[in-house]
Amino acid sequence: MTQERYYFRFNLYNRILHGMVIVSFLGLAVTGLPLKYAQTGWGAWLSHALGGPFTAGYLHRFFAIITFTYFALHLGYIARLVLLRRPGIFWGPDSMIPQPRDLVQFGQHVRYFFGLGPRPRFGRWAYWDKFDYWAVFWGVSIIGASGLLLWFPTFFAHYLPGWIFNVAILVHSDEALLAVGFIFTIHFFNSNLRPEKFPMDSVIFTGRLEEEEFRQDHPEEYDRLLAEGRLEARRADPPPLWLRNFSLVVGLSSLAVGLVLIWLIIMTALR
Amino acid sequence: MARLLTGLGAVLLLGAALWPAGVAQGQPKAAEPKPSSQDCLACHGDKDLKRGAPKPGRPASLFADEAVLKGSVHARLECVACHRTATAPHDSPLPPVQCAGCHDKARAALAGAVHGKAKGPAGAGAPACASCHGTHDVRPAAAMTIDSCASCHARQVEVYRGSVHGRSRQRGDTEAANCRSCHGAAHGVLPKTDARSSTYHLNLPRTCAQCHADPALAQRHNIPIANVYQLYMDSIHGRAVTKSGLLVSANCSDCHGSHEIQPHTNPKSHVYPANVPKTCGGCHAGVLAQYAESVHGKAAAKGVSTAPVCTDCHSAHQIRRVEGDPWKLDVIRECGSCHTESLRTYRDTFHGKVTMLGLTRVAKCADCHGSHTVRAVNDPASSTSPANIVATCAQCHPGATAKFAEFHPHADPESKARFPLLYYSYVFMTVLLVGTFGFFGLHSLLWLPRSLIERLRRGRERLRRGRTGSGEGREP
């Protein structure tokens, strides 16, 4: 078996930020869900295991600070790219902004599901990647804002009417359910659990993609980089063993935590 | 009957043994022979025989009915067995009969007891044996009824006859308590102020428990709470009485009464729901004053049957310390047993969820609404009225403002009429959740078989590449 060629898909900054997302998201879920599901046995058990609702509350705020931090770091990252006048941030094949191409590829993908056409030639970001990205953007904004309201109610009550806290409780809770539900089912499936990637895709930890996978999953980007002569600049050394092991341990553990939580939520909903 | 005869025999033997001593002491003229009962009845058998001079407190007639004598427990005794100094005939009146000559045990029992003390109705001295047992008609102790007690304690016995115990007795229920069940045997009865008395404040629970700690008895008599004694002993009242020895803590009779005791379904009962506030208020006067002004107290006073009285929240026999967390958490459910909607909406909030998880540091029903002082929201004096709500919130949220207090702790997202903004937020969130999960759920389901095919295809490709050698098919 010969050595595969590898290319970078995520830089270190991206990977560290996604690591922060994993840690804070799981932390927020584990410390927040026991309160939302206080009436259930597992909710009460988890809350006590964490040291009771107030300790869980402190931990929840700690993970919230990590969330606000990565959110700020990401905005700073974009700002830096803008200041460096890097092209294609807000439009073009490498942009996260949804574009007509995404709608077309979604249509092609559905036809492919039914065997009515070939697999679309996805670029750097498929439409579900973009949805994931904007879901986090939306989620952090909504959950973060409502969370801050509930964290400092007396402060915000100087400027906002009191009913906003009723809305904040509802939105924080429902939006958290949406986020947790989406990440632990849809994102897990799209990026890890679907048969092509099962049990997990290490790219977010190693940052590296095998050439074959690159060509299969992002053919448009691969061809474009090759045509523009930029492909070699993305060449990477194979991920070292420790990094692959680290990816497996962290990735599979995170998947396990998420799957246990979503299983508990679904069981509670079905009861 | 056999036991009775043995007892009688013992009395006779005892009498015989004491006989010479009695004679020696009371009879200086030892030479004179003892008169027989027939000798006595020669005079005292005359129905018209009267005292020479009337004696206060004693009957004028000196007639002794032989039939009565023969029907009594002393039937086989000669007259002189009791009337020891009697001669036939005798001129001077005989001294009062001393029963103790034979009944020493009874005298010993009476010695320290209330019936042995020189304290009776209207200063008449201690009750004589004859006050309860009669004279010539003396009957066995087992045949005595509460009528004997009633001869002095008429009021108490009258009240008792109307009580649940008295009425059960009248119906022939021999398990129902009578005087002796609670006060003990008559000779040894102690005043309830005596720490050894079965009716002493600290001893009474154990006395009632002779019957009321028995679940089988409760079942036989349709008493709804079978383990009432155990519950009481664990309650704040029971612990205070039996562990701390507090005379001010309630024992059974403080709430249920004593001679007048009635089932709680009887409007005359101290523990009939409408009477409960007054009963508890007997000790908890300050709380009663607050409760009387509350929305609960006013409704109860008007006769609203659903209005909670003390025992509805605090229970009757398992009353707990209100400072303890278990009580603080359980009472939320108590409020919710009537205020179901309020409890449901409370559980949607941080306050309700944290208390659900067992912590009491957040607002519970009474923290905002008051407990005994609870008033309707539209009552200006209510702690949740517009005038007071900010101060109520500020108890926990020091910087609370009027805007802060606009937060609704019992908001219902499903009520469009009362909370329109919350309702539309709820609808939006529901649509968003259902929409997102519906869309991507379907998306994933449709993708799954294709993805499986894709994986198999890539696996085959990889295998083929591996066989045909390196580098093959890598260049575009």
Question: Does B401 reach chain A within 8 Å, measured CB to CB?
Answer: yes
- A199: cis peptide before it, omega within 30°? yes
* B229-285 tens-digit pLDDT: 999 999 999 999 999 999 999 999 999 999 999 999 999 999 999 999 999 999 999
CB-based contact A186 B419, cutoff 8 Å: no
Q: Is the pLDDT of residue B443 over 80?
A: yes
From CA A218, how far away is CA A233, in angstroms rounded? 17
Q: Which of B350, B423, B434 to mutate against chain A (most A CBs within 10 Å)?
A: B350
Is B96 a residue whose pLDDT tops 60? yes
CB of A212 closer than 8 Å to CB of A176: no
Closest CB from B407, B419, B455 relative to A196: B455
Longest dimension (CA), chain B: 154
**Which chain A residues have a beta carbon less than 8 Å from that of B443?**
128, 186
**Which residues in chain B are contacts of A189 at CB distance < 8 A?**
444, 447
Min Cα separation B341/chain A (Å): 16
pLDDT of res. B468: 66
Question: Per-residue pLDDT for B35 more than 70?
Answer: yes
**Single pTM value for the model:** 0.79
Give the side-chain half-sphere CA count within 13 A for B350: 20
- Other Cβ atoms within 10 Å of A99 Cβ, number: 17
B252's enclosing H/E stretch is helix B252-256
More confident: B108 or A63: A63
* Distance between CA atoms of residues B212 and B229, nearest Å: 6
Question: Which pLDDT band, with edges at 50, 70 and 90, does B97 fall under?
Answer: confident
Q: What is the distance between the alpha carbons of residues A124 and A258, in angstroms, rounded to a whole number?
A: 26
Residue with tokens 């007690």: B149
A85/chain B closest Cα distance in angstroms: 32
DSSP letter for B373, please. Answer: T
Q: How far apart are the first and last CA of chain B?
A: 121
Question: What type of residue is B374?
Answer: V
pLDDT at B127: 80
What pLDDT does residue B8 have? 46
Cβ distance of B476 and A223 shorter than 8 Å: yes
What distance in Å separates the CA atoms of residue A166 and residue B349, rounded to the nearest whole number? Answer: 8
End-to-end CA distance of chain A: 51
**Largest pairwise CA distance in chain A:** 68
Question: Are the Cβ atoms of B430 and A174 closer than 8 angstroms?
Answer: yes
Q: Are A252 and A200 in contact (CB under 8 A)?
A: yes
Give residues with Cβ within 8 angstroms of B223, minimum separation 6. Answer: B212, B217
Query: If contacts are CB pairs under 8 Å, which of residues 404-463 in chain B contact chain A?
Result: 404-408, 411, 413, 419, 421-422, 425-426, 429-430, 432-433, 436-437, 440-441, 443-444, 446-452, 454-455, 458, 462
Cis peptide, bond prior to residue A219, ω within 30 of zero: no
Best B332, B353, B422, B467 member to test A by mutation, with max A CBs in 10 Å, is: B353
| Of A118-127, B67-76, B117-126, B216-225, the least confident | B117-126
Letter for the amino acid at B62?
A: L
Asked if A150's CB is within 8 angstroms of B350's CB, the reply is yes
The model's confidence at residue B475, banded by pLDDT at 50, 70 and 90, is very low
- How far is the alpha carbon of B422 from chain A, nearest alpha carbon, in Å? 5
Query: Who wins on pLDDT, B33 or B319?
Result: B319
CA A6, CA B43: separation in Å to the nearest integer? 140
ipTM exceeding cut-off 0.90 for this assembly:
yes
- pLDDT higher for A8 or B108? A8
Q: Are B176 and B192 in contact (CB under 8 A)?
A: no
Contact B406 A162 (CB under 8 A): yes
Of B359, B426, B451, the CB nearest to A52: B359
| Residue type, position B379, single letter | D
Among A49, A60, A269, smallest CA distance to A172 is for: A60
Q: Backbone phi, then psi, for B201, in 5-degree steps?
A: -50, -45
User: Could you state, in order of their start, the residue ranges of all structural domains in chain B?
Assistant: 2-95, 190-314, 335-406, 419-453
Residue B15 has pLDDT above 70, yes or no: no
Looking from the CA of B161 toward its CB, the CA atoms found within 13 Å total: 10
Mean of pLDDT over chain B? 86
Smallest Cβ–Cβ distance between A157 and the set B398, B401, B436 belongs to B401
Name A209's bridge partners.
A7
The yes-or-no verdict on residue B470 having pLDDT over 80 is no
Burial B203-233 (b: 16+ CB within 10 A, else e): bbbbbbbebbbbeeebeebebebbbbbbbbb
Q: Is the pLDDT of residue B10 over 50?
A: no
The CATH code for residues A6-270 is 1.20.950.20
Looking at chain B, which residue has its C-alpha nearest residue A167? B422
- Model pLDDT, residue A2: 55
How far is residue B301 from each of residues A98, B272, B376, measured CA to CA in Å?
Answer: 69, 13, 16
Per-residue confidence (pLDDT) for residue B226, from 0 to 100: 86
pLDDT tens for residues B143-163?
A: 788 888 888 899 999 999 999
Two structure tokens written together for B82: 């009791």
Task: Give CA–CA dist B363/B389, Å, rounded.
Answer: 13
How close does chain A come to B222, measured CA to CA in Å? Answer: 37
pLDDT for res B109 = 86
Identify from A40, A60, A158, A170 which residue to disrupt to test chain B contact, counting B C-beta atoms within 10 A and taking the largest count.
A170
pLDDT per position as a tens digit, B331-364: 999 999 999 999 999 999 999 999 999 999 999 9
**Is A75 part of the contact surface with chain B (CB cutoff 8 Å)?**
no
Question: B343: closest CA among B317, B361, B369?
Answer: B369
Measured distance CA(B243)–CA(B248) in Å, rounded: 13
> What residue ranges of chain A have pLDDT lower than 70?
1-3
The alpha-carbon gap from A64 to the nearest alpha carbon of chain B, in Å, equals: 17
Residue B465 has pLDDT above 90, yes or no: no
Distance (Å, rounded) from C-alpha B116 to C-alpha B94?
Answer: 23
Residue B6 has pLDDT above 90, yes or no: no
> A110 phi and psi, to 5 degrees?
-65, -40
CA distance B198 to B282: 23
